[in-house]
Amino acid sequence: MRARIARRIPRWLFVRLRRLWLSLVPIAQCAAAAGLAWWVAADLLQHSRPFFAPIAAVVSLGLSLAKRWRRSVELIGGVLIGIFVGDLLISTIGSGAWQICVVVAVAMSIAVFLDGGLMIPIQAASSAVLIATLIPPGPGSLDRAVDALIGGGLGILVVAVAPVNPARRARRDAAAILHTLKNLSADLAVGLRTNDEDAIYRVLASARGTQASIEALRNDVAAGREVGRLSPLYWSSRDRLKRIAATADPIDNAVRNFRVITRRCLGVTQRGVTIEPAIVEIIDSMSSGFEMLRAMMMAEPGESPDQADAAREIRSIVRKARTSIADNVEDISETAVLVELRSLLVDMLMVAGLKRSSAIAQLHLNR
| 286-295 per-position pLDDT tens digit | 999 999 999 9
Higher pLDDT, 34 or 95: 34
- Closest Cα to residue 243, out of 315, 147, 310? 310
CA 166 to chain CA centroid, nearest Å: 12
Residue 261 has pLDDT above 90, yes or no: yes
Count the Cβ atoms, other than its own, within 10 Å of residue 5. Answer: 9
Query: Predicted confidence band at 324 (pLDDT cuts at 50, 70, 90)?
Result: confident
Local confidence band at 4 (pLDDT 50, 70, 90 cut-offs): low
Helices 97-114 + 68-93 axis angle, to 10: 140
DSSP character for 331?
A: S
Evaluate whether 91 touches 111 at the Cβ level (below 8 Å): no
Flag whether pLDDT at 274 surpasses 80: yes
209, 245, 273, 361: which is closest to 342 by C-alpha?
361
- Residue 17 confidence (pLDDT): 79
Phi and psi of 188, rounded to 5°? -65, -40
Instruction: State the span(s) of the chain assigned CATH 1.20.58.220.
Output: 168-364
Average pLDDT in the 320-341 region? 82
What pLDDT, in 10s, does the model give residues 167-207? Answer: 677 888 889 999 999 999 999 999 999 999 999 999 999 99
Which is higher by pLDDT, 20 or 271? 271
**Backbone φ and ψ of 353, nearest 5°:** 110, -5
Type of residue numbered 257: N
Residue 63 pLDDT exceeds 60: no
At 129-177, the pLDDT tens digits run: 877 776 666 555 677 778 888 888 887 777 767 656 656 778 888 899 9
Listed range (79-88, 131-140, 275-284, 335-344) with the worst mean pLDDT: 131-140
Q: Which helix (H) or strand (E) holds 269?
A: helix 248-270
Mean of per-residue pLDDT scores for the chain? 82
Ranked by mean pLDDT, which of 147-156, 234-243, 325-334, 353-362 comes out on top? 353-362
- What's 76-97 look like in SS3? HHHHHHHHHHHHHHHHHHCCCH
pLDDT at 80: 81
Residue type, 11: R
Q: Which pLDDT score, from 0 to 100, does residue 351 have?
A: 93
Give the pLDDT mean for 88-102.
84
Q: What's the DSSP call for residue 273?
A: P
Contact 258, 343 (CB under 8 A): no
Distances in Å between the Cα of 78 and the Cα atoms of 105, 133, 139, 226 are: 13, 18, 20, 22
Band (258; pLDDT cuts 50, 70, 90): very high
CATH for 168-364 is: 1.20.58.220
- Local confidence band at 326 (pLDDT 50, 70, 90 cut-offs): confident
Residue type for 312, please?
R
Distance CA 196, CA 268 (A): 11
pLDDT in tens, 235-246: 666 677 778 888
- The answer on pLDDT for 22 being more than 60 is yes
Residue 241: name the closest of 178, 289, 169, 176 by CA: 169
Distance CA 60, CA 154 (A): 10
> Which one-letter amino acid corresponds to residue 259?
R
Cα of 105 vs its chain's centroid, Å: 34
Q: Which amino acid, 270? A: Q
Q: What's the pLDDT at 216?
A: 82
Assessment of whether the complete model's pTM goes beyond 0.85: no
Describe the chain by its helix, strand, coil percentages, rounded to 5. 80, 0, 20
User: What is the model's pLDDT at position 64?
Assistant: 55
Q: What was the pLDDT predicted at 234?
A: 62
Please report which helix (H) or strand (E) contains residue 187, including its range. Answer: helix 168-193
Angle among Cα 217, 221, 224 to the nearest 5 degrees reads 135
297 with 171: CB under 8 angstroms? yes
Confidence tier at 39 by pLDDT (50, 70, 90)? very high
- Other beta carbons within 10 angstroms of residue 76's beta carbon come to 23
Angstrom CA distances, 74 to 29, 69, 77, stand at 19, 9, 5
Tell me the mean pLDDT in the region 68-83.
75
Q: In this structure, are residues 52 and 148 in contact, taking their beta carbons and an 8 Å threshold? A: yes
